[in-house]
Structure 1
């Protein structure tokens, strides 16, 4: 869902025009951004909270050259989901999504490629190519 989709849904639900709704959505986003810039946190009960975390400086490595690079201490915004939202999403998606397949150790050996299992079968294939 994009910002434009959100604006369409809210405009339809409230009867506001898309221009009015866009102003409200932009105002919300600006308010959150400005509060985070000031180091404040924003809590929306039943939804979650926006906060700023401090990341320590560290030594990293440039993946292209392999050179060591110093990454300065910096701040990053993050969002923490409320328990209510997490539970609501899990309840809806758990009912809609198919269950996960059983763990490999619970599958019968025939399902894994015969008596010796898929891992040994794959190893035989690798050995035959050498």
Structure 2
């Protein structure tokens, strides 16, 4: 499902103009990205959590050139679904 399909579905279910729904969806995504950029986790009860995981510095190898390189420590965004979310997906419910 794409962002435009999500906007159409929400607009059809709620009767709200699709431009207004698009603005809310865009605002939500911007806010999540901004929070994760500041290393603040986002918790949505019943849905899941967008969290920042810290990856430690490590040494990697380039096998073709037979060299080693250091990959610096960095943060990555991760989505962790709630138990309710996992159960719905496992059971195939809507």
Q: What TM-score results when the alignment is normalised by the length of structure 2?
A: 0.90
> Whose strand fraction is larger, Structure 1's or Structure 2's?
2
Which of these two proteins has the greater Rg computed from alpha carbons? 1
Q: Which runs of 5+ in 1 are unaligned?
A: 94-130
User: Kindly tell me: are residues 2 and 65 of structure 1, through their superposed partners in 2, closer, same or farther at Cα, counting changes over 3 Å?
Assistant: farther
Distance change in 2, residues 1:16/1:62 (3 Å): farther
Q: Where does structure 2 lack aligned partners over 5 or more consecutive residues?
A: none
**Alignment map for 1:75-90 (pairs within 5 Å):** 75-90=75-90
The verdict on how the C-alpha distance between 1:66 and 1:20 changes in structure 2, with shifts beyond 3 A counting, is farther
By relative contact order (CA 8 Å, sep 6+), the higher-ranking structure is: 2
Q: Could you say which structure has the higher helix fraction?
A: 1
Q: Alignment RMSD, CA only?
A: 1.4
| Number of aligned residues | 93
Q: TM-score w.r.t. structure 1 length?
A: 0.67
